[in-house]
Chains A and B, each alone.
Chain A
Amino acid sequence: MKVLVTGAGGFLGVHVVERLLAHGYTDIRCLLRDRAKAARLLALSELHPGSQLEFCYGNLRSKSICAQAVADVSLVVHLVAGMKGAPAELFADSVVASRNLLYALEARDSMPLAQTRVVLVSSFGVYCVASLRRGARIDEMTPLEDHPELRDTYSYSKLRQEQLFWEYQRKSGFELVVLRPGVIYGPGGGAFSTRVGLQIGPVFFHLGGSNLLPLSFVVNCAEAIVLAAGHPDSAGQVYNVHDDVLPTASRYLREYKRHVKRIRSIRLPYFATRMLARFLEGYNRRSQGQLPAVITRYKAAAAWGGNRFDNAKLHSLGWRQLVATRDAMAQTFEYLQKAEALRP
């Protein structure tokens, strides 16, 4: 079975390739945007004799690259998504790129689409949580966002990306598995999710308080993806992905300060965040956008409203947390501390 991993050189992609190799997949095509990322993947394959990595270089915005990438593959693990940048860029990287990939899969002569399985890595951002009461449990049955225009562009682009895959799945009949990770973290990743707070100028506004962070250590997340990709019962299913033991935002920030760097932070309780959001929205409207409404009441409810999370369905596949939360945080902070030390 030939597997295509899009975004294989990325933060998550490298670990997905490693987990695929560990689970016995031997024929893997890695789609990379940056040629320099191939070396690390080749080093991984050398640890698994008999495995064969093939590289395809380019951007999924290109239809010709998509056609090359999907030739002869029967399993696609689609990780590519725009993470930052202007809204148009996020949509081009996440949604247009995904549509090109789906076009290419449909247009293939070499393999019937019905015999192809596609694994999409979506996001917690697709859920409609702003209208839920504080403390509500988020599981796979939670409704999808119905006001994407009120959310951040990343969440909207991930929602549209997932909708697109379900539309094509209904039309073409391929097997689709969707995973919705919470906050993926680990060595190589960023320090703070917005669920912890926002850095504004020299001050970090700690907005998450005692909310649980739906963290997913990158290795544990990759394990979930690979497990779901190969499980016979996962077709047509959605799985939330996060670790079993979750820290609060306060604890994460405290540990960061202890192990990585002292930073100036101001804690805002949720009601104060809502008041600030109300003020920013009003000022943004009155001044016709002179300052962006970085926090709105809707976004505040989605990010800092405070929810509980449920990964029971993921466990039903036999998933277990490979790296314990304490070790995962230690590895992450060690990496971040080294990165800080290297910063000019």
Chain B
Amino acid sequence: MSLRAAIVGCGKIADAHVEEIRKISSVQLCAVCDLEPIMAEQLAVRCGVPRWYSDVAKLLDEEKPDVIHITTPPQSHLSVTRQAVAAGCHVFLEKPVALHHCDAEAIVAAAIAAGRKLTVNYWPRFEAPALELRRLYETGVLGDPVHVESSYGYDLAGEFGMALRRDPEHWVRQLPGKLFQNVLDHVLNRITPFLDDDQPFIHAVAYCRDASADQAGRSELLDELRVIIRGAHASAYATFSANARPIGQTLRVYGTKNTAFVDFMARTVVLERKQTFPSALGRLFPPFLVAKDYLRQGLKNVNSFSHARFHFFDGMRRLLGEFYLSIEQDSAPPIAYGEILRVTSMMERIFEQVYPEVQV
């Protein structure tokens, strides 16, 4: 069975969608669409997509795609999702899901009511280190989770950061949670599998450490965020930093048996085990054991590279593969809707605390 896919929204992330869609042999990318015709045209020409549109309704009517990838800013996610599912399309939605939690609920409800499948591009959940961590947890190696620390570094001097800094009307500035709203999905997504509470206690603190970074002269972008989360059985600490160097993405899960440390940039998962050597030997050997673990992880990565499985968006490829398979087999989509809504709910509670003046 061959599925026809189309992309709505031709900004930066659309390139990644084109690239990953093309790795699925059963999917044909038939068209791209953007309200701004120039943006639709450039993506189609650069990537050799057969047709481009500037009107979603026309795209849906003429192309009749099976799946729509929505890569527009989140302000339009609800309306485009409703259009897409009404036309019989399944939806692959780019994060952030929506402006508000209630919009996310409406998006999920629209997909369910239309009998279409929906998932959100929470690709870091499907990266190799995240899958390895899940295996350690599910096989009982970690024991019960006690505490989780998720840290996310961001480069405001990078491609996306510079675009945001220069443009006073950038769509990210219009979000209730501004810069945090565009990345916090990934931070929380790494925590929620270890918390089973729907409404954990959340305390968030944010501040602007480097006001000069905001070249548009608005100085409204907070660039540091700390969040404490307390569930019934486990707690978590989330860090977002645009100033700490080097820029990293790490996760440490403290379990009742062992602790796991994941470095998502270096793609390593290392287990910190209970020490069994006696006396001074117990202080002598651990660095060598840790070095051995890292060596093993490095060789594993070399193996992945040599088999061309070491792409930046490898997690997205896996997620897309599972999503399209769920459509073909009419099975459950890869991320439970309840899990998506749990993340959007937590995000909203964080933004209420750090940007109270912009909440509606």
Interface residues of A (CB under 8 A from B): 33-35, 57-59, 61-62, 84-89, 91-92, 95-96, 99, 148-149, 153, 156-157, 160, 286-290
Across-interface contacts of A87 in B (CB, < 8 A): 12, 15, 42-43, 46
Q: B46 contacts A290, CB within 8 Å?
A: no
Option from B14, B39, B163, B169 in Cβ contact (under 8 Å) with A85: B163
21 contacts between A and B (CB under 8 A): A33-B166, A33-B216, A58-B168, A59-B167, A84-B159, A86-B160, A87-B43, A88-B10, A88-B39, A88-B42, A88-B43, A95-B42, A96-B39, A148-B45, A149-B46, A149-B48, A153-B46, A156-B46, A160-B42, A288-B311, A289-B19
For the complex of A and B, the 7 pairs showing the least CB-CB separation, nearest first, are A287-B308, A86-B12, A88-B12, A91-B42, A85-B159, A88-B11, A86-B159
Q: Once bound together, how far apart are the Cα atoms of A86 and B43, in whole Å?
A: 12
Residues of B in contact with A, size category? 20 to 34
B190 smallest CB distance to A (angstroms): 24
**B136-169: which residues lie under 8 A (CB-CB) from chain A?**
159-160, 162-163, 166-169
Residues of B within 8 A of A290 (CB): 305, 308, 310-311
Whether A88 pairs with B15 at a CB distance below 8 angstroms is yes
Our count of residue pairs bridging A and B at CB distance below 8 angstroms stands at 73
Asked if A96 contacts B310 (CB within 8 A), the reply is no
A159 to chain B, nearest CB (A): 10
Please give, as numbers and ranges, the residues of chain A lying within 8 Å of B43 by CB-CB distance. 87-88
CB contact list, B25-62 vs A, under 8 A: 36, 38-39, 42-43, 45-48
B10: chain A residues at CB < 8 Å are: 88
- Tell whether, in the assembled complex, residue B36 and residue A96 are in contact, meaning their CB atoms are under 8 Å apart: yes
**CB of B135 closer than 8 Å to a CB of A:** no
Q: What residues on B are CB-neighbors of A88 within 8 Å?
A: 10-12, 14-15, 39, 42-43
Residues of B close to A153: CB separation below 8 A: 46
A58-B168, A86-B15 given; A96·B159 CB < 8 A: no
* B19 to A, closest residue via Cβ: A289
- Residues from chain B with a CB closer than 8 A to the CB of A84 are 159
- Cβ of B215 under 8 Å from chain A: yes
Residue B217 at the chain A interface, CB threshold 8 Å: yes
Is B296 part of the contact surface with A, judged by Cβ < 8 Å? no
Known contacts A88-B12, A89-B163, A288-B311: does B169 contact A59 (CB below 8 Å)?
yes
Judging by beta carbons under 8 Å apart, are A149 and B215 in contact? Answer: no
Q: B38 to A96, Cβ gap below 8 A? A: yes
Contacts of B305 in A (CB 8 A): 290
Report the minimum CB–CB distance from A31 to chain B (whole Å): 13
Confirm or deny: B23 has a beta carbon within 8 angstroms of a beta carbon on chain A: yes
Give, as a whole number of angstroms, the nearest-CB distance from A85 to chain B: 5
Report the Cα distance A315→B217, complex, angstroms.
42
Using CB atoms, name the residue of chain A closest to B166: A33
Could you tell me if A62 and B163 are in contact, using CB atoms closer than 8 angstroms?
no
- Chain A residues contacting B38 (CB-CB under 8 Å) are 91, 95-96, 99, 160
Complex-state Cα separation, A87 to B16, whole angstroms: 12
Closest chain B CB from A55 CB (angstroms): 13
A84–B158 Cα distance when bound, in Å, is: 11
